Structure 1
Amino acid sequence: MVSVDLFRNRQGMITGYKVSGHAGYSEEGSDIVCSAVSALTQAPLLGLEKHLKLNPSYVVNQEDGIFEVALNSAPTDLTEAILQTMIYGVESIARQCPQYVRIQEHRR
């Protein structure tokens, strides 16, 4: 199962996220659920870096299936738009494939 942990500040704005695990929908290399979640969760990093010119911290560990992103500055309406769009996409996959994708929210 792919777990997506969302981290929010006290105001409810997203400060980061962690993706871990493998969906197990099909064999490695052809797992469309893993591919979809990977694409949806990697794209925001590009938006934060390229469009907003931010330098979020991130960790990639392909062997263990971990991808983690954390803002290094306070979230803004623009970071929230990028990150919330990712969440909408992952929530859509989780609704269609609840046995393969789990989303949890944490307040910091």
Structure 2
Amino acid sequence: MIKVTIERGEAGRIRRFSVSGHAGYDDPGKDIVCAGVSAVTVGAVNAVEKLTGLVPKAKVQNGWLSAETPYGGDPELDGRVQLLLEGMVVSLETIADEYGTYVQIQEVIM
């Protein structure tokens, strides 16, 4: 099972997220659930960097991704980062709605 943890601050701002595990939906290389979650989460990290110029602190290993949300001190820029990350959450929820046996999303207020 893939476990996604979204950590939010008190105001609801996404501070970091992590993804671990493998879906087990199909054989490695054929697992559309793993591929979808990977594309959404890695794509979000890449989008934040390319579209805002801020670089998330991210670590990736086999079956594991952790990313800390960058904050550049500019509220407008931070709003763009948050919008991209909220889009990621919506995409992950869409995958979980269809493949809930293979994906679990947990949100934590820090």
Coarse TM-score class (shorter-chain normalised): over 0.9
Structure 1 vs Structure 2: percent identity of aligned residues? 36
Deviations 1:41-82 (A, max 9, x none): 1111111111100021011111xx110110232682111110
SS at match of 1:60: strand
Q: TM-score, normalised by structure 1?
A: 0.93
Moved more, 75-84 or 24-33: 75-84
Note the alpha carbon deviations across 1:17-63, whole angstroms, 9 max, x for none. 1000000000111000000000001111111111100021011111x
Equivalent residue for 1:96, pick from 76, 82, 98: 98
Report deviation, 1:107. Answer: 1.3
SS for the counterpart of 1:41 is: helix
- How far apart are the structure 1 equivalents of 2:84 and 2:70? 15
Q: TM-score, normalised by structure 2?
A: 0.91
Matched, 1:39 2:39: yes
Q: Which runs of 5+ in 1 are unaligned?
A: none
Q: How does 1:18-29 map to 2 (within 5 A)?
A: 18-29=18-29
RMSD: 1.3
Q: Which residue of 1 aligns with 2:60?
A: 60
Alpha-carbon shift at residue 92 of structure 1 (Å): 0.5
| Local SS of the residue matching 2:54 | coil
Structure 2 unaligned residues grouped into runs of 5+: none
Q: State how many pairs are aligned.
A: 106
The code of the aligned residue for 2:96 comes to A
What code does the residue aligned with 1:67 have?
Answer: L
Distance 2:33 2:70 in 1: 29
**For residues 56 and 46 of structure 1, what CA distance do their matches in structure 2 show?**
9
1:70 and 2:68 are equivalent in the alignment: yes
